[in-house]
């Protein structure tokens, strides 16, 4: 990313936008809280110093708030088709305009200490958000518009499969980012290998999306809610583990 471009993005940071295409802001907030908690104190300080804020809601949500204005919508997902379990860059990430290529780019910017502080700050905001999106199964699912075109009924209301996973189930559980982060920490999930690549994570998300896909007009029953809730918790945990790995490089 050109440094000037990031400066333009930062200038737009006060704008608002809908949450319709990402973990809801609560899911992102939880990922940021857990990732920062996993860091060593020196790493945490470096992250807060660069970002200039401790506001985990802002850090997690910023990239969604600017995407409609700065043409970065495609940064938030990758379209791996239902029929194929593997990512194919030429097919799924044309012109490098997808979450996998953009995560590599922002990671490189954060690690490039010759880049301006503003550029590295913008990249770090993208990092925390996009790693979260990478672990939302339907952000790595190319059919039916990432599940947005699969209508489902949840608690008597019409919604869609993508939104169900972004935030409807999280809201239904009626926790708070603080409590949910605490619950996930206390559940002692397995820490994924530090060698996990963006492609590994995307393919895992895609497999979950295929596993949990539903027919159009499905009713969401209690069993689906229970199973998906435990998967969502594990996804948020794994996202935080990956997000925390940027620490030593900030
Ligand atoms: Zn997003
Ligand atoms: Zn989404």
In a domain, 8, yes or no: no
Higher pLDDT: 9 or 234? It is: 234
In a domain, 242, yes or no: yes
Distance 120 CA to ligand 1 centre (A): 19
* Closest by Cα among 106, 131, 95, 130 to 239: 131
In a domain, 2, yes or no: no
Neighbours of ion ligand 2 (CB under 5 A): 21-22, 166
In a domain, 101, yes or no: yes
In a domain, 32, yes or no: yes
- The rounded distance, in Å, linking the Cα atoms of 31 and 25 is 10
Q: For residues 198 and 134, is the Cβ–Cβ distance under 8 A?
A: yes
Q: What is the pLDDT of residue 248?
A: 84
- Write out pLDDT tens, residues 128-170: 999 999 999 999 999 999 999 999 999 999 999 999 999 999 9
In a domain, 33, yes or no: yes
Q: What is the pLDDT of residue 16?
A: 37
- Per the structure, the complete domain to which residue 43 belongs is given by 22-249
- Write out pLDDT tens, residues 184-240: 999 989 999 999 999 999 999 999 999 999 999 999 999 999 999 999 999 999 999
In a domain, 203, yes or no: yes
Q: What is the pLDDT of residue 68?
A: 95
Please list, residue by residue across 22-60, b when 16 or more beta carbons sit within 10 angstroms of its beta carbon and e when fewer do. bbbbbbbbbbbbbbbebbeeebbebbeebbeeeebebbb
Q: How many domains does the chain have?
A: 1
* Closest by Cα among 241, 214, 207, 84 to 137: 207
Neighbours of ion ligand 1 (CB under 5 A): 22, 64, 76, 133
- Write out pLDDT tens, residues 18-49: 434 467 889 999 999 999 999 999 999 999 99
Quote the pTM value.
0.91
Distance 127 CA to ligand 1 centre (A): 11
In a domain, 140, yes or no: yes
Distance 78 CA to ligand 1 centre (A): 11
Higher pLDDT: 11 or 46? It is: 46
Q: What is the pLDDT of residue 175?
A: 85
CATH code, domain with 147: 1.10.575.10
Mean pLDDT of 74-98: 98
- The rounded distance, in Å, linking the Cα atoms of 15 and 67 is 10
């Amino acid at each position: 990313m050109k440094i000037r471009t990031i400066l333009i993005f930062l200038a737009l940071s006060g704008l608002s936008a809908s949450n319709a295409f990402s973990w809801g802001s609560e899911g992102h907030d939880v990922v940021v809280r857990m990732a920062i908690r996993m860091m060593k104190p020196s790493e945490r300080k470096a992250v807060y110093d660069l970002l200039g804020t401790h506001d985990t809601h802002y850090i997690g949500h910023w990239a969604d708030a600017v995407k409609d204005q700065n043409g970065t919508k495609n940064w938030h997902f990758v379209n791996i088709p239902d029929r194929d379990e593997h990512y194919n860059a030429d097919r799924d990430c044309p012109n490098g305009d997808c979450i996998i290529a953009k995560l590599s780019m922002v990671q490189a910017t954060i690690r490039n200490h010759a880049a301006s502080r503003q550029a590295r700050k913008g990249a770090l905001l993208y990092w925390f958000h996009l790693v979260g999106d990478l672990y939302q199964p339907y952000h790595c699912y190319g059919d039916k518009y990432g599940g947005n075109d699969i209508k489902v009924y949840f608690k008597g209301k019409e919604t869609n499969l993508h939104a169900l996973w972004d935030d409807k189930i999280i809201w239904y559980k009626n926790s708070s980012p603080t409590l949910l982060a605490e619950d996930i920490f206390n559940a002692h999930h397995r820490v994924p290998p530090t060698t996990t690549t963006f492609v590994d994570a995307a393919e895992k998300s895609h497999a979950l999306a295929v596993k949990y896909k539903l027919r159009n007009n499905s009713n969401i029953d209690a069993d689906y809610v229970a199973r998906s809730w435990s998967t969502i918790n594990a996804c948020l945990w794994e996202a935080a583990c990956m997000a925390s790995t940027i620490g030593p490089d900030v």
